[in-house]
Amino acid sequence: MDFEKLEELLSEKNYPLLKSELKSLEPVDIAEYIDDLEEKKALIVFRLLPKEKAADVFSYLSTDKQLEISDLINEKELAAIISDLYFDDKVDLLEEMPANAVKKILQNTTAVERKLINQFLMYPENSAGSLMTIEFVDLKKEMTVGEALERIRRSAPDKITIYTCYVTDGKRYLEGTVSLKDLVLAKTETRIEDIIRKDAISVNTHDDQEEIADIFKRYDLLALPVVDNENRLVGIITVDDIVDVIEQENTEDFHKMAAIEPIDEEYINVGVFKLARKRILWLVALMISATFTGYIIQSFEDVLQSVVALAAFIPMLMNTGGNAGAQVSALVIRSIVLGEVTFGDLFRIIWKEARISMVVGSGLAVFNFLRIYFLERYPLTIALTVSLTLIFTVITAKIMGGILPLLAKKLKLDPAVMASPMITTIVDAVSLIIYFSFATWLLDVNA
Amino acid sequence: MDFEKLEELLSEKNYPLLKSELKSLEPVDIAEYIDDLEEKKALIVFRLLPKEKAADVFSYLSTDKQLEISDLINEKELAAIISDLYFDDKVDLLEEMPANAVKKILQNTTAVERKLINQFLMYPENSAGSLMTIEFVDLKKEMTVGEALERIRRSAPDKITIYTCYVTDGKRYLEGTVSLKDLVLAKTETRIEDIIRKDAISVNTHDDQEEIADIFKRYDLLALPVVDNENRLVGIITVDDIVDVIEQENTEDFHKMAAIEPIDEEYINVGVFKLARKRILWLVALMISATFTGYIIQSFEDVLQSVVALAAFIPMLMNTGGNAGAQVSALVIRSIVLGEVTFGDLFRIIWKEARISMVVGSGLAVFNFLRIYFLERYPLTIALTVSLTLIFTVITAKIMGGILPLLAKKLKLDPAVMASPMITTIVDAVSLIIYFSFATWLLDVNA
C-alpha cells in the first residue's frame, strides 16, 4: 500500500479530508498505516475513523499498537471498541493486556460474558477453542424459512458469517446446518427440518488447528462448527482464520526443517536473545553429532597422512551427500504433510530412491571422474576412489532422506525435525567410512 | 477415511446398499475411494452414483482416473458429466485429454462455449485466467433487490457461489459487487445501485496466482472477480481454490529451499527419470562450487601435512557453519514470502544477526574449547584455532544467511533458491580460509 497521500494530509493537519480518505480504505490497510505511526499520530488517525470501522481496524493492528492505543484512549472509548470486537478478537486482546487493565474491562461486562471470556482464555493454544468465535446464527428446526430469514436479518450485522447457519435444540446440541443458499432457494413456508443437512462435520474444542485446516482443505468449507465434549455447539471457525493457520503451520515446518525451534512472532520483531535461544540447542546437538565425523577422520589419520590430497575432496563429498539427502527429505516431509504418502509407502519410496540415486549418483560420478582425472590430472586411483565414493554417498543419502521422515512419523515424532541437518550428519559419517575404505583398498595404504 | 464397509458391499455385489451408502458420503471421499479401485470396480461404483453427484465426484478424481473412466463410459454418459462440470474443471479435464477425445467433446458443445474453452486453454499456467471459473451471478444496477434475489434463485444451482454477486453494465464492465448478505438485509424494493460496493478489488486474467493468494489473505475474501485488459468481467476465483494455491506455493518453496526444481505433481506418482532430472542440475552446480572448497584445502596442504589432526575438525566446522546459515536464511526467506521484511530491513537484519551470532558463536566456541582441550586433550593451540574459527564461521554464516535472500529478492531472483545449499558453499570457503589462517598463525607452521 502507498500511504503518501495520507501522510501528507496528516502532516498538513487536514483532518476533514484525511477522515474522508480513511472512509474509503479497507480496515486492514488502515491498520497497516497506523502500525507505522508514532503514538501521538496513531491516536489522531485512530480517532478520525468512523465509529463502525474503529473496532475492525483495531482488530487488525499489531498487539503492541493495540496495547498502546488502549492506554491512550479513555475508558469509555476503550469499552466501546472492545464491545464492538468479535469475541475471538476480544479474547486475543485480553490475553495480551496487563492484568489490571483486563480487570477494569471485565468489570464493564455482564456476568455471563465474563464467564465465557474466562472459559475461552483457558483453551489451549492452537486448539479449535482458541480459534473459534461465538457470533454464529443459530436456528431451530421448527422454524419456517421465512422466520429463519427474519432472524438472520435482525442479527446479521453482529454475525461473523450468515452463509452457514447452525440448527440447535433446546439444550444447544448441534443438529445440523442450513446454508443461506438453501434458505434463499427454499419456499418461505418450508420448515428448517426439511432442508437441514444433518451430517454436518464438526470438531471438538480441543482438536488441533492442523487437523482442522486439513478438514477445511478437504471439504472446501467456509465455516466449521465447534462442539464441546457434550456435543453442544460452542462456536464456529471461519475459513479466513484457517488461511492464517495454514501459513502459520507452514512457517513452523520451514523453521523446523532449518533446525530452529518454531517462532510464532514476526522474525524482525523478536529479540536477539530469544532468537539465539531458539537456535543454539539444535546447533549444539548437530555440532556434537558432527564430531563423530571428526572421529572417523581421526581414525583414518594414517591414510590421510600418506595421501594428504584425499582431504581436498572431503568437503565436496560431504556437501553433495548432504544436498542429495536434503532433496529427498524435503520431498517426503512435504508429501507427509499434504497426506500424499504414509509409512505404508516406505518400500515404494526406498525402491524409487534407490533407482533415482543410481541415475543421479552415476551422473555425478562420471562428471567428477572426468574433472579429477583429465582436468586436474590426479592419479587414476584417486579419481576412482572419489567417484566410487560419490555414488555410494548419493545412494545412502537419498535412501536415508526417504526413510528417516517416514520413521519419525511412525514413531509419532515430527518428520520436519528429522530434516536435512540430521540426515547430513548420518550421511557424512557413512560417506567418510566408504571413502577411506575405498582409499585403503585402491591406494594400497594401510589404515 | 475408512472404506472397509464400502469394500465389503462391493465384493458382496450388494449394489443397492452400496448405492445408498454412497449417497450420504462427501464427493471428495467417494473420489478417494474410487481412485484406489481397479478399472472395472471403479466403473461400477462410479455408475452407482446419484446423477447429480457424479460430476462432483468426477471433478475430485485424479487425472489418471478421470481419463480412465472417460474411456470406459459411453459418449452420452461422458457428455452428461462434462456438461455438469464447473467450467474450470471442464477446462482442466480437456487440457489433459488426448486430442481426438477433446475434438469429440467439443463437437457436442455450442459455438460460444467452444470459443470460450479455447480462450481458457490459452491462459498461462498459474495465472488468474487458469484459476477462475465462469459460474458467477451477475446483476444489473437498475434491478431491485427483489428482482436480484429472484434471478439468484433461478440460477443458484449452477453457480459456484451466490454469496458475492457481480454488477456489470451492458458491455460487461465490472461496476461493483453486492453480497448476498447485503441483499438479504436490504428492502425488496431497494435498487442494486443503492447498495453496490463500487471499490471492489479485482485482478487481471494474467496476474500471478501468488499475488492473488496474497490479496485473499490480506482482505479475508471469499471470492475475487477477474477482468480482462478492457476491464470486462470474465470470471471469478473462489477461496477454496486459493487454499490449494497457498499449499502449492509453499510446496514450491520447500522444494526450492532443498535445491530441487519444483514438482507440481504428487512425489509418489512422479517417474524416476523426471525426479532425477529435477535434482541433478542443482547437485552438479553445488558440487562444482564445493570443489572450490577443495582447492582451498589443497592450497593449505602443507599446513595439513604438518598438523594432520586439523583435518578432523573440518566437518564439524563446515556443518556448523552450514546449519547456522540455513537457520537464518530459512527465517528470512519465510519472512520475505509473508511480507514481513523487505530489502529496506537489510541493515536491521545484519545488525540483529551480528549480535545473535556473537551470542551463539561464543557459546558454541566455549563448549567446543572445553571439549577439545579438556576432554580430548588436544594441544591448547589446536583448541584455540578450532574455537576461534567457529566464532567467525558462525558470524559469517548468519550474516550471509540474512543478506543473500534479501539480495536475491532485490535482484528480482527467487529468494528460496538462494537457500541453504548456496549459503553453505560460500560459508564453507570462508570458514576454511579463516581456519587455516588461524592455524598458520597459532600453530606456527608455514602455509
* Integer-rounded Cα radius of gyration of chain A: 31
The pLDDT of residue A288 is 85
pLDDT beyond 50 at A311: yes
- The cell 507440481 sits on which residue? B264
Q: Which of the following CATH numbers is that of domain A138-238: 3.10.580.10, 3.40.50.800, 3.30.559.10, 3.30.70.270?
A: 3.10.580.10
- Give the H/E segment covering residue B214: helix B209-219
Residue A178, classed as helix, strand or coil, is strand
For β-strands B138-139 and A233-238, DSSP reports them as unpaired
pLDDT beyond 70 at B152: yes
CA distances from A309 to A138, A314, B308, B379, B437 (A): 77, 10, 12, 25, 19
Substitution target in A145, A158, A316 with the highest count of B β-carbons within 10 Å is A316
**Could you say which of A283, A320, A329 has the minimum Cβ distance to residue B287?**
A320
Let me know: does A260 contact B325? Beta carbons within 8 Å: no
pLDDT beyond 50 at B447: no
Q: Give the ipTM of the model, two decimals please.
A: 0.86
Q: Closest chain A residue to B258 measured between Cα atoms?
A: A327
Q: What is the DSSP string of A297-334?
A: HHHTHHHHHH-GGGGGGHHHHHHHHHHHHHHHHHHHHH
Is the Cβ pair B156, A181 closer than 8 Å? yes
Q: Chain A closest CA to B80's CA: distance in Å?
A: 24
Substitution target in A320, A327, A345 with the highest count of B β-carbons within 10 Å is A327
Residue B237, classed as helix, strand or coil, is strand
pLDDT digits (tens, 9 = 90+) for A222-244: 999 999 998 899 999 999 999 99
pLDDT digits (tens, 9 = 90+) for A41-90: 999 999 999 888 899 999 999 888 998 898 888 888 888 888 888 998 88
**Could you say which of B244, B319, B428 has the minimum Cβ distance to residue A424?**
B319
CATH dotted code for B267-442: 1.10.357.20
Q: CA–CA separation, B153 vs B355, rounded Å?
A: 63
Assigned superfamily of A4-122: MgtE N-terminal domain-like (1.25.60.10)
Residue of higher predicted confidence among A424 and B22: B22
Main-chain dihedrals φ then ψ at residue B7, nearest 5 degrees: -55, -45
Q: CA–CA separation, A121 vs B306, rounded Å?
A: 65
pTM of structure: 0.87
Q: Chain A closest CA to B230's CA: distance in Å?
A: 24
Cell of B428: 564453507
Average pLDDT over chain B, rounded to whole?
89
CA distances from A400 to A297, A332, B131 (A): 22, 11, 38
> Which DSSP letter does residue A206 get?
T
Residues of B in contact with A268 (CB under 8 A): 335, 340-341, 345, 348-349, 352
pLDDT beyond 70 at A167: yes
Task: For residue B325, give the nearest of B248, B211, B405 by alpha carbon.
Answer: B405
Q: Give the dihedral of Cα atoms A83, A87, A93, A95; nearest 10 deg.
A: 130
pLDDT digits (tens, 9 = 90+) for B161-206: 999 999 999 899 999 999 999 999 999 999 999 999 988 899 999 9
Average pLDDT over chain A, rounded to whole?
89
**Could you say which of B276, B283, B330 has the minimum Cβ distance to residue A255?**
B330
Amino acid at A166: Y
Is the Cβ pair B364, A250 closer than 8 Å? no
Given strand B223-227, what is the order of strands in its sheet?
B203-204, B223-227, B233-238
Query: In b/e form, how buried is each residue of A69-103, taking b as 16+ CB within 10 angstroms?
Result: bbeebeeeebbebbebbbbbbbbbbbeebeeebbe
Q: CA–CA separation, A254 vs B332, rounded Å?
A: 11
Confidence band for A420, pLDDT divided at 50, 70 and 90: low
pLDDT digits (tens, 9 = 90+) for A242-255: 999 999 999 998 88
Q: Chain A closest CA to B139's CA: distance in Å?
A: 16
Let me know: does B167 contact B228? Beta carbons within 8 Å: no
* Integer-rounded Cα radius of gyration of chain B: 31
Confidence band for A447, pLDDT divided at 50, 70 and 90: very low
Q: CA–CA separation, B422 vs B414, rounded Å?
A: 13
Q: Which residues contact B147 (CB under 8 A, 6 or more apart)?
A: none
Let me know: does A267 contact B341? Beta carbons within 8 Å: yes
Mean pLDDT of B323-337: 90
Q: Which of A86-90, A385-389, B1-5, B294-298 has the highest mean pLDDT?
A: A385-389
Task: Measure CA of the first residue to CA of the last residue in chain A; give whole Å.
Answer: 66
pLDDT digits (tens, 9 = 90+) for B257-272: 888 888 878 888 888 8
Domains of chain A, by residue range, sit at: 4-122, 138-238, 267-442
Substitution target in B28, B218, B256, B297 with the highest count of A β-carbons within 10 Å is B297
Main-chain dihedrals φ then ψ at residue A130, nearest 5 degrees: -80, -15
Is the Cβ pair A360, B283 closer than 8 Å? yes
Task: Name which of A24-28, A73-77, A125-129, A357-361 the model is least confident about.
Answer: A73-77
pLDDT digits (tens, 9 = 90+) for A94-141: 888 888 778 877 877 888 888 888 888 889 989 999 999 999 999 999
The pLDDT of residue A135 is 92
Task: Name which of A92-101, A360-369, B275-284, B336-345 the model is least confident about.
Answer: A92-101
Residues of B in contact with A338 (CB under 8 A): 247, 251, 266
